[in-house]
Structures are given as C-alpha cells and as structure tokens.
Amino acid sequence: MIGRLNHVAIAVPDIAAASDLYRKTLGSDVSAPEALEEHGVTVVFITLPNTKIELLEPLGEESPIAKFLEKNPDGGVHHICYEVDDIIAARDRLLASGARVLGSGEPKIGAHGKPVLFLHPKDFNGTLVELEQA
Ligand SMILES: CC[C@H](C(=O)O)C(=O)SCCNC(=O)CCNC(=O)[C@H](O)C(C)(C)COP(=O)(O)OP(=O)(O)OC[C@H]1O[C@@H](n2cnc3c(N)ncnc32)[C@H](O)[C@@H]1OP(=O)(O)O
Ligand SMILES: [Co+2]
C-alpha cells in the first residue's frame, strides 16, 4: 500500500533560522516560506535527490505542532510522509485494521495541493505518519 517516501518533516521553533542552516551550512535549496493557515503551520521544503525535507513552524494559536515543540524546544523530527495510490482505499483499509485516522477522517489538501491524512503516532511505533495521494 505505501509507496515512495514523499518527505520527512522537522518541527522547528524558528523557520527562518532553520532555513538558513539548511541553505548556508548544509548547502541545500530551500523554498520560500508558505503559511498554511488550515494546517496551523508555516512550511518550507528542501528538495533532495531522493525525497524532501519539510520544515514546520507553528502558525496561530491552535497549531497542532505547538505541544510537540513545548516538549522539544530545539525542534525534532515530527512526521514522515508516504505516498499512496488511492488515499480513500488506504484510509478504509487502515480503519478496518483498527488504526486511528486523525481529524475528521476526510483527507485535507496538503502543502503540495494533494489530499493528505495523518495516522496516530501511538499506532505506528511512536511515529506520526502522513499519507499523501500520489
Ligand atoms: C498537511 C500540510 C503539511 C504537508 O506535509 O502537506 C503537513 O505535514 S502539516 C503537519 C502538521 N499537522 C499535523 O501534524 C496534523 C496531525 N497531528 C495531530 O493531529 C497532532 O499533532 C497529534 C494528535 C499527532 C498530537 O497532538 P498533541 O501533541 O496535541 O497531542 P498529545 O500530546 O495528546 O499526543 C498524544 C501522544 O502522541 C505523542 N505525539 C504527539 N506528536 C507526536 C509526533 N509528532 N511524533 C510522535 N509522537 C507524537 C505525544 O507525545 C503523546 O504521547 P504520550 O506517550 O501520551 O505522551
Ligand atoms: Co507533512
């Protein structure tokens, strides 16, 4: 069911400083920040030869990553995103297996303009999993 690794996301307290680190210290191309109000985050993407790194900064009072950053003030790996061919079929198979799909269970449009879903970290070895429609 899961396919390519679409991205690895890192939550950061200061996305400008983290972007500079990746741009200057690690010599990578970093996209311009994009505020995703619906998701409560500001994101930038670092495109690598085989996947992407997503840097996330909390946006607004209700950001879903605020608590994560309280626990990890320097930041940390927040989630991994796998691609799936059919996100509805994947969701239904996961629900049937007893896995928890976060939110309403209906996919939202993510940072790449594709439908995404999130699976509870406690069901996947302490790792927040995002699925993105390929
Ligand atoms: C979609 C746009 C963009 C894209 O790629 O296109 C993005 O990826 S946006 C990313 C930001 N959005 C989300 O993360 C949405 C899904 N996340 C959530 O709904 C919450 O973050 C949730 C429910 C995973 C955790 O929320 P919160 O921290 O407020 O809840 P708890 O403190 O109750 O956590 C429960 C339990 O899970 C552990 N936890 C929390 N976050 C993570 C994490 N990122 N990785 C691993 N484990 C995590 C937390 O420590 C709690 O464990 P416990 O042992 O009970 O303390
Ligand atoms: Co993501």
Q: How far apart are CA 32 and CA 28, in angstroms?
A: 13
Protein fold of 2-133: 2,3-Dihydroxybiphenyl 1,2-Dioxygenase; domain 1 (3.10.180)
Q: pTM score, two decimals?
A: 0.97
* CB contact at 8 A, 65 and 78: yes
Q: What is the ipTM metric for this complex? A: 0.97
* CB contact at 8 A, 132 and 6: yes
- 132 annotated active-site: no
Boundaries of every domain in the chain: 2-133
pLDDT in tens, 1-60: 999 999 999 999 999 999 999 999 999 999 999 999 999 999 999 999 999 999 999 999
The bound ligand whose nearest atom lies closest to the alpha carbon of 78 is 1
What's the CA-to-centroid distance between 31 and ligand 1, angstroms?
A: 24
Q: Say if ligand 1 is within 6 A of residue 101 CB.
A: no
pLDDT in tens, 64-96: 999 999 999 999 999 999 999 999 999 999 999
